[in-house]
Amino acid sequence: MQDFTLTTYNKLLQELLSNGYLSQTLQDFIQQPKNKTVILRHDVDLAYRSQRSEVPGEMP
């Protein structure tokens, strides 16, 4: 089973950034792709309301 926690997601993002990857929307990537781009897709979970309060600085 995968670890789908905010901590693991944050570690993934930090690892990608530290290795020079950029973030682009799919539309931007299609129009003008950049090297070392990552496009992340996510599904909205029903537990989102309870999880969002765990991310410091995020909007409610």
What is d(CA 48, CA 35) in angstroms, rounded to the nearest whole number?
A: 32
Residue 59 clears pLDDT 60, i.e. is over it: no
- pLDDT tens digits along 16-36: 999 999 888 889 999 999 889
Amino acid 49: pLDDT: 57
pTM: 0.56
pLDDT, tens only, 32-49: 998 898 888 766 665 655
Element (H or E) spanning 6, and its range? helix 6-18
CA–CA separation, 49 and 22 (whole Å): 28
Residue 32 is predicted with a pLDDT of 93
Best CA proximity match to 38, nearest among 52, 47, 28: 28
